[in-house]
Amino acid sequence: MKIKYLLFLILVCLMPFSACTLIKNKPADNIKFHLPNNLLEQYRSDLGELQQASVYRIVMTIDLIEDVVRVEGTEEVIYTNQESIPLESIYFRLFPNVGGDYLSVSEIQIDGIPMRPIMEYSNTALRLELEKPLPPGESTTILMHFDEVVPSVMGGNYGLYVYLDDILALDAFFPIIPVYNDEGWNVEEPPQNADMIFTDVAFFSVTVDAPEDLVLVAGGKETRRVVESNRQVVTYKGGPQRDFYLAASPNFVSENITANGVKVTSYFFEEYRSSGERVLEIGADALMVFSERFGPYPYDELDLVSTPMQAGGMEYSNIVVLGIKFYDPASTTGETPGSVFLNAATAHEVGHQWFYGQVMNDQIDEPWMDESLVQYVTYLYYLDTYGEQAADGFKASLDQRWARVNKEPIPIGLPAKDYTPTEYSAIVYGRGALFFDALSDEMDQDNFDAFLREYVETHRWGIVEPRDMKRIAEEACDCNLSQVFYKWGAIN
């Protein structure tokens, strides 16, 4: 290197946001190959720090034979050890097996060498013992074949993985690597009534070969489509994402609008058009409110799709799914009309695009960190979209939820398994949201708003612990918040 060039480089490197950042963070070839085209331009510089994120390449077929849906394919994962210690094993979660043995895996190879898996936790976890430990920073390539017959009855976790009423809903349908942290690999018997996905962000390239008449709704962005002999072969690429979700139905129709430069699309049945169009409007409004408050939504597309499920809605990276039963104008949930419920549920699930998609927490051990917060930001959506009266109405609904356990001061910070289903709903979705309201009073609203912006900015694409949240909040208000965190049981 010539001295002149060296001097130039030193000068450039002293400048913030310089070309030097690009030199230091040159993306690895695998990421470059998979350079996602669903990420907004302003977030592309984040890619340099995600060189070690896993890359999933899935090639799969969907077949419908006599009302039974079979999905099979190959999955190749380039996994890099992002920990500070060598790893002796790698786990995959097989979430479809929460409801029964639906997903099986075979022909596993690690760097070309055949490998026998060790099945654990009622076949919901698959352990691969490495021949020699994988040192920090080193990569390995895992190849496998997967095969599943999708259940046609709702079961397992909220009934999110199902083929019912001509809708295929593929929730966490492929083997996916969980988070490794100070607890080791995060594998356990998944709870039946809480969110299960706890993953580092990854990059996905998924090619789906499916009957031509299915309208496919999938994570990432469509990059290629070939239609031939009544089949469609479509490739989706995306990342950084927490997951890859896919829904399909021959009966989906759609409408879309552009909000903040993002193409927002709502998929619904023609008979529920008015609800489908309303969900589109709510989704776009929520996206604009949260983009303004917490930083722009990071992708160029957001899909909102109606599927059968036992829950009200569920979040996935760049996709929101909502219970199709609430699209029926005559539907109710408790005493709430379905249309009122859909408003809150849509805003809630869009809120997860920040608190789940961008900032992830352990949803099994600390479900309040995203669920309670997302309930609170739904209140902010009401405030910014409809004004104080509507927001107070939503806040009253949080109080009513808590009242289902007689407003017992049950700590908000317990793991999902320590709550009964009634407590889980009342505390995590009611009392926990009121904690954030109390926190905003304690900190002053301006400091609280600054805290949430900083929380997303600092931990985007990362994983947070309660102490991270407390620290950023205390920095924002320059005050000690131990008392309020302890009083509500956010930190025990």
Question: In this complex, which beta carbon is closest to Zn ion, that of residue 301 or of residue 371?
Answer: 371
Whether the CB-CB separation of 433 and 375 falls below 8 Å is answered with yes
| Number of Cβ atoms within 10 Å of the Cβ of 220 | 26
Report the nearest approach of Zn ion to the CB of residue 287 (Å).
Answer: 16
Question: In this complex, which beta carbon is closest to Zn ion, that of residue 102 or of residue 435?
Answer: 435
Residues 312-371 that bind Zn ion (CB under 5 A): 371
Residues 115-174 that bind Zn ion (CB under 5 A): none
Spatial separation of the C-alpha atoms in residues 108 and 114, rounded to whole Å: 6
Question: In this complex, which beta carbon is closest to Zn ion, that of residue 73 or of residue 351?
Answer: 351
Short-list 73, 76, 74, 72, CA closest to 33: 76
Binding string, 75-114, against Zn ion, x = CB under 5 A? ----------------------------------------
In degrees rounded to 5, what are phi and psi of residue 222?
Answer: -70, 125
Question: In this complex, which beta carbon is closest to Zn ion, that of residue 214 or of residue 344?
Answer: 344
Report the nearest approach of Zn ion to the CB of residue 371 (Å).
Answer: 5
Residues 360-379 that bind Zn ion (CB under 5 A): 371
Q: Please, what sign has the CA dihedral across residues 479, 398, 359, 446?
A: negative
Report the nearest approach of Zn ion to the CB of residue 427 (Å).
Answer: 14
Report the nearest approach of Zn ion to the CB of residue 490 (Å).
Answer: 17
Spatial separation of the C-alpha atoms in residues 354 and 369, rounded to whole Å: 12
Spatial separation of the C-alpha atoms in residues 317 and 313, rounded to whole Å: 14
Q: Which pair of tokens denotes residue 42?
A: 């302003």
Q: Which pair of tokens denotes residue 460?
A: 């985007």
Question: In this complex, which beta carbon is closest to Zn ion, that of residue 275 or of residue 378?
Answer: 378
Question: In this complex, which beta carbon is closest to Zn ion, that of residue 75 or of residue 371?
Answer: 371
Strands 301-307 and 262-269: parallel
Q: Which pair of tokens denotes residue 85?
A: 């210690």
Report the nearest approach of Zn ion to the CB of residue 354 (Å).
Answer: 12
In the DSSP assignment, the letter for residue 304 is E
Report the nearest approach of Zn ion to the CB of residue 25 (Å).
Answer: 33
Question: In this complex, which beta carbon is closest to Zn ion, that of residue 103 or of residue 428?
Answer: 428
Q: Give 358's contacts (C-beta < 8 A, 6+ positions apart).
A: 298, 456, 459, 460, 461
Report the nearest approach of Zn ion to the CB of residue 335 (Å).
Answer: 21
Question: In this complex, which beta carbon is closest to Zn ion, that of residue 200 or of residue 371?
Answer: 371
Question: In this complex, which beta carbon is closest to Zn ion, that of residue 188 or of residue 371?
Answer: 371
CA distances from 337 to 245, 276, 292, 309, 340 (A): 28, 16, 29, 17, 5
Q: Which residue number places its CB atom closest to Zn ion? A: 371
What are the b/e assignments for 52-74, b being 16+ CB within 10 Å?
bbbbbbbbbebebeeeebebebe
Report the nearest approach of Zn ion to the CB of residue 311 (Å).
Answer: 9
Size of the site for Zn ion (CB under 5 A): 1
Report the nearest approach of Zn ion to the CB of residue 315 (Å).
Answer: 6
Applying CB under 5 A, the residues found at the interface with Zn ion are 371
